[in-house]
Structure 1
């Protein structure tokens, strides 16, 4: 029924939900029924269940969760800036498909929901590697479970706000508007900045934050992340998987338009 309703409202492109054509209600339906998000919810509940089963004291559990809340934006920033926007993955044949899936496709067409969400095969191990050692060091099994559950919960929050930032919708709250504007600049003006999703503290710390299109020049690689047609000739594996040369802007984009 949900799929039929979504198709009838023409928010699918043929292979993915198109956030540029969706309203907030449609996003909620798509988000809350999306398999990746449901998997995160289920794993988070299991993690918190293990936390309760192995619970000894509130203090290490709370410290584990707060540590993840503190560390998560910094880790996300590092992954986003140095791995997702790095150029080494597409230059190796066996990692080219990974890079294409985890970020290139998203920048080629930022409105497609299917490539906005990371693949669970990549995201879940990463969340586990980041959170479980922190939690275990602080609170052993209960702390590890609490930390992993917190990481999954934060990821769900990140993903929802990430959807909002690409949605055909103007948020009513000023702080969400600012968040969305900064992320839109990252996708449509210059990709070498504003790496945060819900927080830009790391961007400020590491001088990659900018507030408007006047603050830095427009990047010629904002949609292809440097994987242009010359690079595709040298390293053809991503292009072969895509079935076409890389685009310097997504379908329907106005090349003369600056992000605002």
Structure 2
């Protein structure tokens, strides 16, 4: 997939379209309810700071936690929102976040913050800015996983750090575009040599032994990889690589 194909796929993906439409609606409402410019600006500023911290916390302690797969009620969600992505980091079908999980999470984090600072105009401004930030995060995330060499140093750096998270050691580099909180909490590693190769980088600790005790994800996935290599879902589905690429883009 070329960068041009990525841009087209990105802006036609249903979740991204939803983020854009919600963002526009929030901007319209924040202007309609506009009362205190300083408070609304403060709400956006706090949302800008809260977003990367919220992502870091959720990514590290929830998505990489080992409690969601231990319940039949949450195993399906965990499989979709993170396990599949680590099992096959290049599978574009699970690259984007699931709208039914990302949107409520963003709204629950940013809307109350914005409301406390600037009332309803602050709430809509914070949520609208959250939609803009989400689109930026998702686009950079696509570049990180696409077989594409970015030209800008910023994109090169975040791609290197994120690929280390996926292919070397998943216990660090939890950011997507912002690694400030990784620095604060000591989970940033600049080079692969700074951390040992993780045996669970592709299964997030959901090993064959864990699958025997908590079988729900295993039954849905057709097994897990425990040999230090990513699981290619197109191989499990009996497709060739070109066929898989075609199906992923359709």
Answer whether TM exceeds 0.5 for this pair: yes
2: CA distance, partners of 1:113 / 1:62: 36
2: CA distance, partners of 1:101 / 1:124: 15
1:72 aligns to what?
51
Q: Which of 87, 96, 99 does residue 75 from structure 2 map onto?
A: 96
1: CA distance, partners of 2:201 / 2:121: 43
2: CA distance, partners of 1:114 / 1:238: 18
1:247 aligns to what?
225
Count the aligned residue pairs: 230
Q: Which of 164, 178, 188 does residue 167 from structure 2 map onto?
A: 188
Question: More helix by proportion, 1 or 2?
Answer: 2
2: CA distance, partners of 1:41 / 1:247: 37
TM-score with structure 1 length normalisation?
A: 0.87
Runs of 4+ in 1 over 2 A off after TM superposition: 248-252
Q: How much has 1:118 moved relative to structure 2?
A: 1.3
Kindly report which structure 2 residues correspond to 1:124-203, keeping only aligned pairs within 5 A, or say none: 124-203=103-182
Q: Secondary structure of the equivalent of 2:193?
A: coil
2: CA distance, partners of 1:179 / 1:118: 18
- Give the root-mean-square deviation of aligned CA atoms: 1.0
TM-score with structure 2 length normalisation?
A: 0.90
2: CA distance, partners of 1:138 / 1:47: 16
Residue 59 in structure 1 maps to residue 38 in structure 2: yes
Structure 1 gaps of 5+ residues are 1-21, 253-260
Q: Secondary structure of the equivalent of 1:207?
A: coil
For the 8 Å contact 2:224–2:231, the answer to whether it is kept is no
2: CA distance, partners of 1:235 / 1:116: 25
1:36 aligns to what?
15
1:14-34 alpha-carbon deviations (Å, 9 max, x no partner) = xxxxxxxx1211110110111
Q: Which of 66, 81, 84 does residue 63 from structure 2 map onto?
A: 84
Q: How much has 1:251 moved relative to structure 2?
A: 4.4
Structure 2 gaps of 5+ residues are 233-250
1:106-164 alpha-carbon deviations (Å, 9 max, x no partner) = 00111122212111111111011100011100110100000010111101100000011
